[in-house]
């Protein structure tokens, strides 16, 4: 097996991302992700699950995308629901 055929032979692998890569996917900072591992909260929701590999934390891309998908998208600010706290 040569090195160039190896990536193509594993098409269903779920990539593991480091803090910096995971932060880019979620639009936040690696410091926020580190804090979320301690508090269990990110953006007011339960933080995405991670894997500890030695001293490093890794996030599955699929887990990050599911976490991100729980937040609704809006066309403009008038669509944003008024919270009960603002009333």
User: Is 23 contained in some domain?
Assistant: yes
pTM summary value: 0.77
Is pLDDT at 21 greater than 50 in this prediction? yes
Q: What DSSP string describes 27-75? A: TS-HHHHHHHHHHSEETTEEPPP-EEETTEEEEEHHHHHHHHHTSPP-S
* pLDDT range class, residue 87, cuts 50, 70, 90: very low
Q: Are 18 and 58 in contact (CB under 8 A)?
A: yes
User: Is 81 contained in some domain?
Assistant: no
* Least confidently predicted of 21-30, 43-52, 55-64, 73-82: 73-82
User: Is 5 contained in some domain?
Assistant: no
User: Is 8 contained in some domain?
Assistant: no
* pLDDT for position 2: 52
Domain tally, the chain: 1
For residue 45, the cross-strand partners are 42
Give 46's Cβ-side CA count (13 Å radius).
4
Look up the domain containing 28 and give its range.
Answer: 14-70
User: Is 21 contained in some domain?
Assistant: yes
pLDDT digits (tens, 9 = 90+) for 24-40: 999 999 999 999 999 99
User: Is 58 contained in some domain?
Assistant: yes
User: Is 56 contained in some domain?
Assistant: yes
């Amino acid at each position: 097996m040569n090195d160039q055929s190896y990536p193509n032979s594993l098409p269903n692998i779920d990539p593991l991302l480091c803090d910096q890569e995971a932060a880019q996917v979620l639009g936040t900072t690696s410091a926020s992700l580190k804090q979320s591992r301690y508090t269990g909260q990110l953006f007011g929701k339960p933080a995405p699950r991670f894997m500890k590999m030695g001293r490093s934390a890794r996030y599955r891309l699929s887990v990050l995308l599911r976490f991100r998908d729980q937040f609704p998208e809006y066309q403009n600010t008038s669509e944003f629901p008024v919270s009960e706290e603002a009333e």
